[in-house]
Amino acid sequence: MSVKTITKQNFHREIMNSAKPVLLDFWAEWCGPCRMLSPAVDALAGERPDITVGKVNIDEQADLARQFRIMSIPTLVVLKDGKVTAQKAGVQSKENIRAMLYS
């Protein structure tokens, strides 16, 4: 499964209506740690067809960043049935991200 670019326009359709758990990566182009995290997020998207993976560019989607109270990036958010079940800021290992999905 590929990573979806999440915008204010497709958020409800792609995320809130997802029957699968959702992993959202809040990031920005200028963020070095975000670039370090990206390969792990991309790998999980390819390995785990049972989850929806989306990326939210905070510079382009400031409303979504505010909605999730994103204070630093990168921040990963896991949603199940439209509710946040886990949220962590900073670079995470693939193992830590997997653990977030099961919390």
DSSP 12-40: IIIIIT-SS-EEEEEE-TT-HHHHHHHHH
What residue ranges in 1-100 does DSSP mark as E strands?
4-5, 22-27, 52-57, 75-80, 83-89
> Percent of the chain having pLDDT more than 70?
99
Question: Tokens 């994103």 belong to which residue?
Answer: 70
No. of helices (H) and no. of strands (E), the chain: 4, 5
> What is the pTM (predicted TM-score) of this model?
0.94
Is 66 tagged catalytic?
A: no
How much is the pLDDT for 1?
Answer: 64
Is 63 tagged catalytic?
A: no
Q: Which of 34, 53, 56, 77 is catalytic?
A: 34
User: Domain-by-domain residue ranges, the chain?
Assistant: 4-101
Strand partners, 79: 22, 84
pLDDT band at 4 (very low <50, low <70, confident <90, very high): very high
Per-residue pLDDT of 71-90, as tens digits, reads 999 999 999 999 999 999 99
Look at domain 4-101 and name its CATH class: alpha beta
Per-residue pLDDT of 24-72, as tens digits, reads 999 999 999 999 999 999 999 999 999 999 999 999 999 999 999 999 9
Q: Which of 22, 31, 41, 51 is catalytic?
A: 31
Q: Hey, CA dihedral for 67, 59, 10, 13, is it positive or negative?
A: negative
**Paired tokens of 31:** 């963020």
